[in-house]
Structure 1
């Protein structure tokens, strides 16, 4: 698996799984009916932020991540990131590889920590992955997320200091 900077040519491969994940409404606080131009604007970030894709040997896009400063000004030293893995390629270590890449990018770019603002507590695979990569749950906003089948569930803020 190779992780490389995403280009405009990658968007047609990202959009189908991006759309499906967002429409499911189980893991992202994006509008479930997000259209393609809005999704592209939210995901395909301009420098100094970064959007990458994980691809296999034949160039198939397996997943993607975006990385950026969590806030501006006096809080710009904390990074954030978001990740999406094509469900057709789940269980192959794509999320872990993208997570490790994002952490390496944040450290190399000079950030002092990484914060995830909204990890849905019922997304247990993601929570376990982030914990295994050294993140802590700093707090949970009770009923911070309306899950389409589980109702109101907690929203974790997760953090890792470098």
Structure 2
């Protein structure tokens, strides 16, 4: 198993991971009606460097890395992660996060910040906390969860 840069030929496998998460509308502030082409354009946008978790030729997860802000804030990284539903709970998100920390350091970033962690996404909140992220902000009711209604969004940060 390895984490490697995503290639254009990985698009179908990445879309198979992205689309169920986007359609569910429970963890990302993306339009659940977003097309597959738009989702891939978002993940592969020029401001992002996408990666995949590849296990024997099967892509089980993906993440992107980018600067959280431009100019004076470009030393802080930002990332987004998704794993295949069949691969959840197997440490893949943790492995991708650890890879992202190393990759971010190598690219000169000194910290990582997540701007919008949906508070009801307890798996993600637990993972990020276990990896040293602190919740530095809470935006009340910032996310419209399809089942839970208004849910807080967390701003999480950690030095690299």
- TM-score normalised according to structure 2 size: 0.96
Tell me if structure 2 keeps the 8 A contact 1:45–1:66.
Answer: no
Q: CA deviation at 1:16?
A: 1.8
> For 1:45 and 1:109, how far apart are their aligned partners in 2?
18
1:1-162 aligned at under 5 Å gives the runs 1-46=1-46, 49-57=48-56, 59-162=57-160
List gaps (5 residues or longer) in structure 2: none
Q: CA deviation at 1:17?
A: 2.1
List gaps (5 residues or longer) in structure 1: none
RMSD over aligned Cα atoms = 1.1
- SS of match in other structure, 2:27: coil
- SS of match in other structure, 2:21: helix
> For 2:131 and 2:109, how far apart are their aligned partners in 1?
17
Runs of 4+ in 1 over 2 A off after TM superposition: none
- TM-score normalised according to structure 1 size: 0.95
> For 2:14 and 2:98, how far apart are their aligned partners in 1?
20
